[in-house]
Structure 1
Amino acid sequence: IKIKINKSRYKPFELIETQLLLLYISLTASSIERMRQSFIFTIYLFTSILLSSIVVGSTTRKYIFDVSQIKASPDGFERDILTVNGQFPGPTIEAETGDRIQVLVRNHLDVETSIHFHGMFQRGTPWVDGVAGQTQCPIPSGGWFLYDFEVPGQWGTFWWHSHYMVQYGEGLSGALIIRNKYLEPYRFEVNAEYNVLLTDWYHNNSLTLLSYYLSPASNGNEPIPQNGLINGHNSFNCSKAPAGSKCTPNAPKSVFAFKPGHKYRLRLINTSTFSAFVFSIDNHNLTIVEADGTDLQPVTVDRLAINVAQRYSVIVEANQPVASYWMRAELETSCYPVEAPDLEKVITAEIRYDGAPNPSDFSRSVSKFTDIENEECIDLSIDMLEPYWAKDAPGPVGSQVYLNITFQNDSHGVNRGFLNNVTYVPVYTKPTLFNVWSGERDYAPNQYLLEIDENQVVEIIHGHEFFVLGLGSGVYDPSNTTITNSLRFKNPLRRDTSTIPPMGWTVIRFVADNPGIWAFHCHIDWHMEAGLAMQFVELPRQIERLNIPQHVLHDCPKEAFTRGDNKFGSSTEGLTIGAPVHSNDSTYTDHHSDMSHNDTDHFHH
């Protein structure tokens, strides 16, 4: 076997240190409900913490995503949901490190949409990050968009989801799995693997819930789900369903087949809009080996907390007597702003050993947990999780920026989220990326941006894939040696989604070497829609030199860009802005590849 290492693209086991940021986030609250909550922050300003990438010839993985609305009953309660190719959860995207991924999204909804690939660095392709209003105009009804990117130096458990309004809570999400046959340390220690997608589930339309949440009547209390699902399934007590609704009792649960003596990798993904979970399997231990795409030294637990948008891989050995066992995911209702007495906290699926009794003989009773409360809804201790591929936190660090998170009423009495007293409002017709790329930089109000220029070293309190140096309660005081001495610089945890403790702080550090516009926001979707978001404009002069493909601009109105030269005019020449494209349209050719639109034989549906 001939192995080629592309040294021109990757520096094995080295950080590309061009810019360095340490982010701090301090958290305050305006109500007792806010004080009880944690905030799940994620940032797509990903740094290149790249191990050696061994290239043996990459493959182009092509997918067609037909986005539509259907009626479905995931837990027995019928409602309209959003799907890709009629599937819920959506199809899994699978690739190997170094592959090229092409996802052709065709929007059959009556409203706009977009797709974000959570955890992908998008180095050199920031225009396909999928954040509507920041990196693209949303895909119009009847329209299309080609997401085309490579995945060098990355592997692990990721996910994709809509990044427009609150659509992913309606079902528009799925797993994204990147494997590495050479550097993934546990690949050959397991016999098989399963994706396990956990989500809270609402029986009311998310836009209706959002409208109420963003009104004075809600008092800032987030909508509470009616149920939770494991891989899109669970049952619901139909006696609690509103009159006139359609509900089928005893809906099927997900089933995972185990062979005695085999080991299984479970890739856990929390795709919730709001809720954290505590995950466990009766009578079985869980060995954690990955968090958010970072391989870990193995650590064995009997349960683990997983917050919104986070991922963990656990290895489970089928070493118990042949039987069926409950997989459990407990909704962390202590994090809710109000009591939810009618909610079944424990969501279950079945682990069924080969040779186990018929399901009818399997006890359906479920006892509530008594000893795993995660009252503060915080992450697993960062001291527990040690990256397998050691890398110390980069340094030194220069200037510091503090980001203060608050919730307060606006002039209309609506409780909104603020970062440093700015509440974010997206501008869907003029994404920030194109604004910077054109050289205009005429940002609209409520566009909180932090520009990171070349040769600038910045420290900020939270929020790329980042090194988590520490977290705590109270106010972060850099002069407090007890706090600063507690920070971990030797091989700290690296991840892309971190939970800030209620009334607390988180300190992270990352290398800013990836030109683009990267969203930094709370991944509790209600909070993001309330304005708890900002943008990093990373290396703007390099952004202006990006070669953005023509088709990326076709959903944006030309009049939104007023630069004197023809940068945008030439980029959209020959395209009808926002024009729908049909599956039999043989005239479409993507300007970033040699793929024609009707070349669907090479795509996965």
Structure 2
Amino acid sequence: MDQVQESPVKRLCKAHNRIFVNGQFPGPTLEVTDGDTLEVKVINKAIYNVTMHWHGVRQFRTAWADGPEFVTQCPIRPGESYTYRFTVLGQIGTLWWHAHSSWVRATVYGALIIHPWGDYPFKKPDKEIPVILGEWWDRNPMDVVRNATRYGAAPDISDAYTINGQPGDLYKCSSRGTTIFAVKAGETNLFRFINGALNTELFIEIAGHKMTVVGADASYDRPFDTSVLMLGPGQTTDVLVTFDQAPGRYYLAARAYVSTQGVPFDNTTTTAIIDYGTQTTKPGKKSPAFPKLPAFNDTDTATKFAESFRSLETVKLPQPVDENLFFTVDLGLFNCQPGQKCGGPNGTRFKASMNNVSFVLPSNFSILQAHYHGVPGVFTTDFPAVPPVQFDYTAQNVSRGLWQPVPGTKVYKLKYGSVVQVVLQGTNIFAGESHPIHLHGNDFYILAQGFGNFNPKKDTSKFNLVDPPLRNTVTVPVSGWAVIRFVADNPGVWLMHCHLDVHINWGLAMAFLVPDGIGELETLEPPPNDLPVC
């Protein structure tokens, strides 16, 4: 039973009331075994609407548990409750849960660890350590996003990053609360990294220690060594670390990776301490060793890390492809209308889109409820399979006529069981930027990533058709593209969106509608009796 309510907390010298789960920040870590069925009752004692999303869980035939408000359900109103019921099946590793209601997510999140029935495909670690990174504002995050929405402007940047809820030694009034991970010389620990930040991709490094990546997004990967990780919001990565250095204290540190030039960002560094527990390294005796993190704009390092992932074994890719889709991922601008307050460049309002459609959430029914009950007028099924206008997507000066997306609640309807391949093409409309794109309800294979405009004649030859990684969130490189493939065998409505929350607020999202197949095992279960009313 999880109670969502305001709790007192002090960070960066200031006292606040923030929305937590069970008074914890981060919220409770849920540990399950592959095949377990979960029931989590969420009681909303906060002043805001709340829904929960079980990030990366397929929720086969139980789309009612997915969580995004007005997509699969109406929100849990203050004073109400809802029990999420789903089975974790065929996924092993690190996932997480978080609020999917505006910026309540800034402080409402936690780890979801899925253990295997048998052994890991690597030596059993001595200890498992969840590490959840986040962002912290000195203001109420809901006020930050409301002000940005009111003016159509970019939101204020965060004041700090956090590791397991604490900013760390480099921020004022924070060193006493710095997260400390106690380890022993010679042991190998499994660190379960989660980027729970709202709007920032993050470089992560441990001073003096090599990391061996063994999994991501609850899928095992072929192990590879690295000194640095780069996680976009929503992504998870499992790494093994052997503590074979001179016993002492070492910083685990994280800072922003920023792919767009000339934009403001939180240029600070969060730290935790890896403590071997020696007598000579008590707090205050000696500063921990510090890693040499990449520069904030080091796209080469971010790209090298993303391209290192391979599935643990040879993959039998789903084929042939039934749906070849091409989606542009855009940041754009709306011209200011008379009477509007506009805080974007030159009196405009920021908007974002996919295939020039800026996603608008319904307000009276969720899309899934409207689909299941046949309620007309809530959404349309005419989301375009390709951009309505083709152009040089990554040109330095994109025509102003392409800068104004069209608002709409549009979904793309897939046939049950179809094999779907999607080219996700970043654009330089207004500004090119790296986008972590998350697909609900489905894992997908990442076939390839690259820069510039996707060219099927030359880029198809770059596809990894042997051992592509299985993920639920893919980074579309700045001014570049990514290609994913999945099977639409999960009935329901599944949101695809940028996990930079400011972008989904601006409309960088769409949804796939997967109707029932044949028979009970291919049919969406009926809605639960306690589904929140609209």
Counterpart Cα distance in 1 of 2:355 and 2:275: 50
Distance in structure 2 (CA, Å) of the matches to 1:147 and 1:379: 37
Larger gyration radius, structure 1 or structure 2: 1
1:351 aligns with 2:251: no
> Which aligned pairs between 1:122-271 and structure 2 lie closer than 5 A?
122-169=59-106, 171-182=107-118, 184-186=120-122, 188-216=123-151, 218=153, 221-235=154-168, 248=173, 250-271=175-196
Structure 1 residue 292 corresponds to structure 2 residue 217? yes
CA positional deviation for 1:96: 0.2
Higher RCO structure, 1 or 2 (CA under 8 Å, sep 6+): 1
2:200 is aligned with what amino acid? Answer: S
Tell me which amino acid in the other structure corresponds to 1:313: D
C-alpha displacement at 1:77, in angstroms? 3.4
Instruction: Report Cα offsets for 1:381-431 as digits up to 9, x if no partner.
Output: 454222114313221113422212222222533111111221112124311
Q: In 2, are the aligned partners of 1:521 and 1:532 still within 8 Å (CA)?
A: yes
1:461-540 alignment, distance < 5 Å: 461-462=423-424, 464-478=442-456, 480-481=457-458, 483-540=459-516
Please, which runs of 5 or more residues in structure 2 have no aligned partner? 337-347, 381-407, 425-436
After superposition, the Cα gap between the structure-2 partners of 1:92 and 1:536, relative to the gap in structure 1 and judged at 3 Å, is same
Give the alignment of 1:432-447 within 5 angstroms.
Answer: 432-444=367-379, 446-447=408-409
| Alignment deviations for residues 78-118 of structure 1 (CA, whole Å, 9 cap, x no partner) | 32321000000000011001111110100001121011000
Q: Which amino acid aligns with 2:135?
A: D
Given that 2:205 and 2:291 are in contact with CA atoms closer than 8 Å, whether structure 1 keeps it comes out as no
TM-score (norm 2): 0.84
Q: How far does residue 336 in structure 1 lie from its aligned partner after superposition?
A: 7.4
- Give 1:30's aligned residue: none
CA distance in 2, matches of 1:551, 1:233: 39
Question: In the alignment, is the contact (CA less than 8 A) between 2:5 and 2:20 conserved in 1?
Answer: yes
SS in 2 for 1:354: coil
- CA contact 2:169–2:178 (8 Å) conserved in 1: no
Distance between the aligned counterparts of 2:108 and 2:72, measured in 1? 19
Q: 1:361 to 1:333 in 2, by over 3 A?
A: farther
Once residues 199 and 364 of structure 2 are traced to their aligned partners in structure 1, the CA distance between those partners, rounded to angstroms, is 28
Residues 99 and 380 of structure 1, relative CA distance in 2, 3 Å threshold: farther
> 1:236-385, aligned counterparts within 5 Å?
248=173, 250-333=175-258, 335=260, 338-340=263-265, 345-356=268-279, 357-363=281-287, 369=293, 374-375=298-299, 378=302, 380-385=304-309
* Matching residue of 1:453: 415
Amino acid at match of 2:82: F
Provide closer, same or farther for how the CA distance between residues 236 and 262 of structure 1 changes in structure 2, counting only shifts above 3 A.
closer
Change (3 A) 1:358 1:141: same
How far does residue 214 in structure 1 lie from its aligned partner after superposition?
Answer: 2.8
Amino acid at match of 1:289: V
How far is the alpha carbon of 1:346 from its aligned partner?
Answer: 2.2
Give the distance between the partners of 1:156 and 1:85, measured in 2 at CA: 24
Query: Which structure features the higher share of strand residues?
Result: 2
Displacement, 1:366?
5.4
Question: Which has the higher mean CA deviation after the structures are superposed, 203-212 or 527-536?
Answer: 203-212
Shift of 1:314: 0.6
**How large is the Cα RMSD of the aligned pairs?**
2.5
Alignment partners' CA distance in 1, 2:74 and 2:301 = 34
Give, in angstroms, the shift of residue 298 of structure 1. 1.2
How far did residue 321 of structure 1 move? 1.4
Which structure 1 residue ranges, 5 or more long, are not aligned?
1-63, 240-247, 558-605
Distance 1:323 1:449, change over 3 A: same
Q: Distance in 2 between matches of 1:491 and 1:435?
A: 39
Q: Provide closer, same or farther for how the CA distance between residues 457 and 97 of structure 1 changes in structure 2, counting only shifts above 3 A.
A: closer
Change (3 A) 1:441 1:123: farther
Q: 1:441 to 1:397 in 2, by over 3 A?
A: farther
Q: CA deviation at 1:217?
A: 6.6
Question: Are the counterparts in 2 of residues 452 and 540 from structure 1 also a CA contact under 8 Å?
Answer: no
Q: What secondary structure does 1:423 align onto?
A: strand
SS of the aligned residue for 1:122 comes to coil
Q: Distance in 2 between matches of 1:194 and 1:249?
A: 21
Aligned length, in residue pairs: 477
Pair 1:238–1:497, CA change in 2 (3 A): closer
